[in-house]
Structure 1
Amino acid sequence: MITHLALDGVLEGALGLGIDIVDTAAAIAARPIPSASGPRRKRPAADGEPRNPLRQRVVSLDGAPVRSGGGRLVNVDTETPFGSVDFGTGDILVIPGPSATDEKLVDELLARPETMRAVETIRRAADSGATVAASCSATFVLAATGLLSGRAATTNWWLAPLFARRFPDVTVHVDRMVVDSGEVLTAGAAFAHTDLLLTLVARLGGAALAEQVARYLVLDARMSQSRYMVLEHLRGTDPVVRAVRQHVHANLDRQLSLGELAGAAAVSPRTLARRIRDELGVSPTEYVHRLRVGHAATLLATTRDPVDVIAGAVGYADPAAFRRIYRRHTGETPTATRTRAA
């Protein structure tokens, strides 16, 4: 059984898409498939799974409807409040993110009395053998349970520095759409919830079923959040970060040492590394790569210059190295970016 926990302020799109994905998977899995020997037979369940692992329900903490982030009522299973759900091995608890887009709203989310109750019940569900999955700001709620301690996770890319500061014992892979750590899974920003549910469908019904669902719902296969990391959002307000950004943009076509960047910001290299890490959650080198890659993406979309020429224009003498770094930061090749823009 898949249980969707709708917290107050839940994002309707994420919750609705999650429900649609499971419904579509259940419908496809229930269809008979042709047999080479003649009569049509029922589609088999995945190895060791019950016949219908794709049943689902939507619950709230107290069994009452909740208000979405848009202020609309979200109906839930009124007969089964979250605290009374009997979880066991093979069950899955999915938590779509509430609307919390900045540090203040995340603080308010984690300080709510109902969030505190949810944390305890989520922990009990995991102790009972359930798999727990969360996306978007709900990853903060999941981390508050301690279930992510010592594990890898992802979250909203723009809240990743805050996540890393709050939960230093969690390894954050901000570029990933989904991080599967076995008993717990996390996904990035709101619509990465679709990737999370497809991952769970693949676990329950096999990769082929998840692929069919993605095709039916026209969901693209996105393994990375990186190409959605709008650099405007990464600029921050720290004057050291601004100084580095300006210096990099003024010298895109050449290599820059850590010492030169620190000098441009009038701080020591150690202070530079700390300030960029605190503000953006990345190293100075990674920040410079993002600035270069961001400018390269603009050139790919707005010019017809060859990829090798663009590589040199943004500071990469080796076009092969540029392609590797570009793909690591955007999740796609330079050619794919150009094709998509066209």
Structure 2
Amino acid sequence: MIFHLALHGVLEGALGIGLDIVDTAAGLAGDTGGRLQQRVVSLDGGPVRSGGGRSLTVDIASPLGSLAFGPGDVLVIPGPSASSESRVDDLLARPETMRAVESIRRAADSGATVAASCSATFVLAATGLLAGRAATTTWWLAPLFARRFPDVVVHADHMVVDSGEILTAGAAFAHADLLLALVARLGSGELAEQVARYLVLDARMSQSRYMVLEHLRATDPVLRAVEQHVNANLTRQLTLDELAAAAAVSPRTLARRLRDRLGLSPTEYVHRLRVGHAATLLATTREPVDAIANAVGYADPAAFRRIYRRHTGEAPTATRTRASDQRVGRGPTIEARSMTRICGQ
């Protein structure tokens, strides 16, 4: 049985896509009474108010703490609306969150698999179940996650991280990827692929190409200065000392600022900026990939392709093809449409 825990402020889109994916999988597999059964639950068994202010009913009118979990069960937690550090702080300070932490821990202790996405990963981490494990979370809150839970290995660029009986996913619509991973586990990889095709869900292994750095650096003059210097010197290699001098700080201060604000090293930040320029050129010009690599500072085209894939989750040619498809009227994929509402933004 799959239990979807709706906390107050839950994002309706995340909860809804999760339900649709499991319903579709059950229908395609002919699973009317097996592992793909699902129910929506709440902490007290009553309705919850969504992030959009609507009242959502649940399927089981019993408190979460009274439900029996066991091996084969899955407790899935879509993220409540919490798009900033202050709102995450508020979420973790709620009395109901403390109750959720105890119930989640009890479900895991009973052998259930636990999965969470977006801001719900903070609630999951508060249980201690992620200690010593790898996890992901919504990309712009990853530095906060790393500071709050230093015993968790954070992979902010991953859509889904599978750590055995604990799974985590990134921003709100990564909840779709999380549920597809669970369908693959409970059914089969083939069934998950069939569901993805049926619902027109693209394969997305990485959050990297969704990381809008402006969201995090807009108020930081040091990061703006580094960005401007990189943009003015795209075709040549830059040292840490040079970047620090451009921002009028010490190399150590620059490294610390980047780590705290973006969760990136100076080298990774420069790669991210270069890759962002490359993605724009791929989408808007017909220049060969090797020429674009050179234009953004990579003399070795093979190295550029490796770095580009690491930071975007796809090959340069895939970016160009996707942009071309959208220009000729095939329309944005679900991932593009999803960008309009991520974790309450």
- TM-score, length-normalised on structure 2? 0.91
Identity of aligned residues (%): 82
Deviation of 1:80 (Å): 2.4
Out of 86, 108, 118, the residue aligned to residue 136 of structure 1 is 118
How far apart, CA to CA, are the structure 1 residues paired with 2:273 and 2:102? 41
2: CA distance between counterparts of 1:235 and 1:79?
A: 45
Structure 1 residues 93-120: Cα deviation after superposition (integer angstroms, max 9, x where no partner): 0000000000111111111110111011
| Counterpart amino acid of residue 213 in structure 1 | V
| Aligned-pair Cα RMSD in Å | 1.3
**Are 1:119 and 1:144, in contact at CA under 8 Å, matched by a contact in 2?**
yes
Deviation string, structure 1 residues 113-169 (Cα, Å, up to 9, x no partner): 101110111011111111100001000000011111110000001111111111111
Q: Show CA shifts across 1:266-288 (max 9, x none).
A: 22222211111011111010000
**Offset at residue 174 of structure 1 (A):** 0.7
Letter in 2 for 1:329: H
CA shift for structure 1 position 300? 1.2
1:14-41 Cα offsets, whole Å, 9 max, x none, are 101111111111111117xxxxxxxxxx
Measure how far apart 1:188 and its partner are: 0.3
User: What's 1:17 paired with?
Assistant: 17
1:190 aligns with 2:172: yes
* Distance across 1 between alignment mates of 2:214 and 2:256: 21
Measure the CA separation in 1 of the matches of 2:269 and 2:314.
19
Distance 2:218 2:272 in 1: 14
Structure 2 CA distance for aligned equivalents of residues 123 and 4 of structure 1: 15
Letter in 2 for 1:262: A
* SS of residue matched to 2:83: coil
**Match status 1:179 vs 2:149:** no
1: CA distance, partners of 2:298 / 2:85 = 35
Whether 2:306 is the aligned partner of 1:324: answer yes
Shift of 1:231: 2.7
Matched, 1:292 2:271: no
Task: Report if the CA contact (8 A) 1:87-1:125 is conserved.
Answer: yes
1:282 aligns with 2:264: yes
Deviations 1:196-247 (A, max 9, x none): 0011111111111111111111111111111111232242422221221111
For residue 319 of structure 2, give the secondary structure of its aligned residue in structure 1: helix
Question: 2:223, 2:258 within 8 Å by CA — same for their partners in 1?
Answer: yes
Conserved in 2, the CA contact under 8 Å of 1:151 and 1:170? yes
Whose radius of gyration is greater, 1 or 2?
Answer: 1
Q: Distance in 2 between matches of 1:316 and 1:78?
A: 57
1:200 and 1:244 map into 2 onto residues whose CA distance is 41
- Distance in 2 (CA, whole Å) between partners of 1:236 and 1:325 is 25
Residue 3 of structure 2 aligns to a residue whose secondary structure is strand
Aligned to 2:228: 246
Q: SS at 1:315's partner residue? A: coil
- Count residues in correspondence: 324
Structure 2 stretches of 5 or more lacking a match? 325-345
1:121 is matched with which residue? 103
Aligned residues of 1:93 and 1:133 also touching (Cα < 8 A): yes
- In structure 1, how many angstroms separate the alpha carbons of the residues matched to 2:24 and 2:151? 37
The aligned residue for residue 218 of structure 1 is 200
How far apart are 1:79 and its partner, in Å? 2.5
CA distance in 1, matches of 2:277, 2:289: 13
1:2-81 mapped onto 2 (5 Å cutoff): 2-30=2-30, 52-81=34-63
| Equivalent position amino acid for 1:168 in 2 | P
The alignment status of 1:86 with 2:71, answered yes or no, reads no
TM-score of the superposition, structure 1-length normalised?
A: 0.92
Q: Distance in 2 between matches of 1:268 and 1:79?
A: 58
Determine the C-alpha separation between the residues in 1 that align with 2:164 and 2:38: 20
